[in-house]
Chains A and B, each alone.
Chain A
């Protein structure tokens, strides 16, 4: 019991400390120590519980009282923002509905329900704890340097750093609570806290756009919260349980749990930014970069997919599963297409996040053993690589004053260290021996075995569009434009620390992924599915990890060959000699500038969004109608 308590307690304590001790110096120290301790704790959790899943039941009513109190406090805080400060009545109504539902439930039905376990720490939870603990802490450390520069560069933004770090640590604490809870009431509370924290983080700059987007995030997530509350109430009344493990057991023994599962999956959709709820994740781009990194890679959206993956064994054949996989599939395809037409680095990342989440959700929706394996593997790879990408783009934005990918021209020469991090990140996102393609491989197998040709189509097209936008970006960074100036000065040491650790982590995960699969994912799945199998042949996994090693070693050994005579690039004989300009009409010197393809008419954002929203929205409505019909015997 002590370790889980510490895991949630330490970030919480750090949050309060940071909030109270407002000096820059003390904050630097507290954040670093808290991050280190959190990381150590999450590793300790990993060591303790890896392979030894435990169910923990709290004694006494302490926990439930605390949970209720947190519920009410969070609700009051949200009501304060929605009713008093910004007058958004209908968002307040969403909050009131769920608070009412939960309170009513706790007072009435909730008392008679006997709990068998409050917390469940299985391998999946441990993986999530490790992701949130290690990556989240690194992001917190990175923020120290980043936010200092951010405040310097944006004097118009009020310096609320104590508040910022408070929310970050609160977020981590809630995230830990979320992934280790088995009692849905606890999970609901953490869920609400993460929703609220993301709202605060997105609105950090207090500009009109930021406030607008933060409320967008809030109402979408609150909608999910309402679904969560409904699911709890329905489960309590119908099955007399509020435990996730019980729900899964019921589902396995062929009980009709579709509605509860569908409601939970729905609330996973809102958090994981599936279409049509993808808007909030794109809006979250207005926040300082560490926020986006935290929301996109390791915490917020991962909470959504975590819940759906947990429900994996009871999805599959039923309508809840159908809904999950079609919405996931459609989101994957349309988001990856939309990413092609974007030039804003963070927006490309956002769309790629949405599309990857779509793939995860889609796999989870299939519900088979293979599909669940794939989903978990993508979660791991995506968390590491995407956080690295966000932090790199954020740093580049600070150095260059723009996050448009077109301005990354010549980064290879002017910012060698940072561009290396970015290259590793991009490779980690999509290249073959690295993470994503292994997952795609497994996904393909899972889709074929599940017999869904449409999903197969979505996957093959989605993966080729993914290839397009990542390679385009990779090409932009690797373009060799010599410049005398090194533009890396001014990047803080803590930022380098985070970037380098994440790069190393990306490479290590890619090399050791057979081990991750063997030691972490497969034992979890064996417990969840009571079967055992290799999704991808072990030899092939080894071959792939060899290829990663090759790719890492190769550049180190290269460049010792023959000396080459350097000549200017081919500009039809009119190169002025520096590769950067040419002699134009009437002897003018015209600078060379190269731009990427965006194919707006094919993959325009509005078009893709429209298609995605209509498809996903109608799928959501139809499936819910069918499921409700089944549940209420209409």
Chain B
């Protein structure tokens, strides 16, 4: 049994959104949607989080921040891009400072469309993310069995997986 599916903690980061999606993300915590049913906790701390939930696109200003938060999260971890801007840059895509969707900065695992994304969609996205999370957990477990010195160097399954995916394409 994988516990990571039962206790996904998430950190929410607002890149450069219009705050529409952020409100919807918070709406998920309200009694109506109550994501804590699934053990989801909004921690606000990348070091405790399993899921990196981003809204808004990436621009020159927040690029290093997004990267750092991602770097600070322990494996296994997934990134969920919530809303049109996080997926592609959305209405801001041709702004002077805009770089694009979140996948321009960090590897994104789940895309949740919508402007703004509805709470149901967000929860759906998180649940999809859980499957990815479990897969990565297995990858970590496999890696953990390898020799001690090897482990340290290759303990980045996210990177490994994305390389594989790109190779398939």
Contacts and interface: CB of A to CB of B under 8 A. Distances in A.
A60 interface: no
Given A567-B47, A567-B72, A570-B46, 12 more contacts: A563-B148, A565-B155, A570-B47, A570-B72, A573-B13, A573-B64, A573-B66, A573-B69, A574-B64, A574-B68, A575-B68, A583-B64
Contacts of B64: 573-574, 583
B135 interface: no
A568 interface: yes
A565 B152 CA distance: 8
Contacts of B13: 573
Nearest to B46: A570
| 6 cross-chain pairs, A with B, having the tightest CB-CB distances, nearest first | A573-B65, A573-B68, A573-B69, A567-B72, A563-B152, A574-B65
A172 to B, nearest CB: 55
A565 B46 CA distance: 15
Interface residues on A, range: 10 to 19
Nearest to A576: B64
Interface in A558-608: 563, 565, 567-568, 570, 572-575, 583
Interface string B144-163: 00001001100100000000
A568 B152 contact: no
Nearest to A569: B72
Contacts of A574: 64-65, 68
A363 to B, nearest CB: 47
Nearest to A565: B155
Interface in B12-53: 13, 45-47
Nearest to B47: A570
Interface string B65-77: 1101101101000
Nearest to B144: A562
A510 B65 CA distance: 49
- Of the four ranges (under 10, 10 to 19, 20 to 34, 35 or more), the interface on chain B belongs to 10 to 19
A567 B45 CA distance: 13
Interface in B69-98: 69, 71-72, 74
7 contacts: A567-B72, A570-B45, A572-B65, A573-B46, A573-B68, A574-B64, A575-B68
A485 to B, nearest CB: 26
A67 to B, nearest CB: 70
A511 to B, nearest CB: 36
Interface of B: 13, 45-47, 64-66, 68-69, 71-72, 74, 148, 151-152, 155
Interface in A536-575: 563, 565, 567-568, 570, 572-575
A503 to B, nearest CB: 35
A568 B68 contact: yes
Contacts of A572: 65
B17 to A, nearest CB: 16
Contacts of A575: 68
Nearest to A577: B68
A537 to B, nearest CB: 43
Nearest to B149: A563
A565 B151 CA distance: 11
Contacts of B74: 565
Contacts of B148: 563
B130 to A, nearest CB: 24
A574 B71 CA distance: 12
A575 B72 CA distance: 11
B57 to A, nearest CB: 16
B9 to A, nearest CB: 15
A337 B71 CA distance: 43
A568 B67 CA distance: 12
A570 B46 CA distance: 8
Contacts of B68: 568, 573-575
A568 B13 CA distance: 18
B62 to A, nearest CB: 8
A5 B151 CA distance: 70
A263 B62 CA distance: 73
Nearest to A562: B148
A574 B65 CA distance: 6
A355 B109 CA distance: 60
A564 to B, nearest CB: 10
A563 B45 CA distance: 22
A570 B65 CA distance: 11
A203 B64 CA distance: 58
A566 to B, nearest CB: 11
Nearest to A567: B72
Nearest to B151: A563
Nearest to A563: B152
Nearest to B67: A573
A587 to B, nearest CB: 9
Nearest to A573: B65
A575 B151 CA distance: 27
A475 B83 CA distance: 43
A570 B13 CA distance: 14
Contacts of A567: 47, 71-72
Nearest to B156: A565
Contacts of B71: 567-568
A570 B155 CA distance: 21
A353 B78 CA distance: 55
Contacts of B72: 567-568, 570
B136 to A, nearest CB: 16
A28 B23 CA distance: 75
A263 B154 CA distance: 77
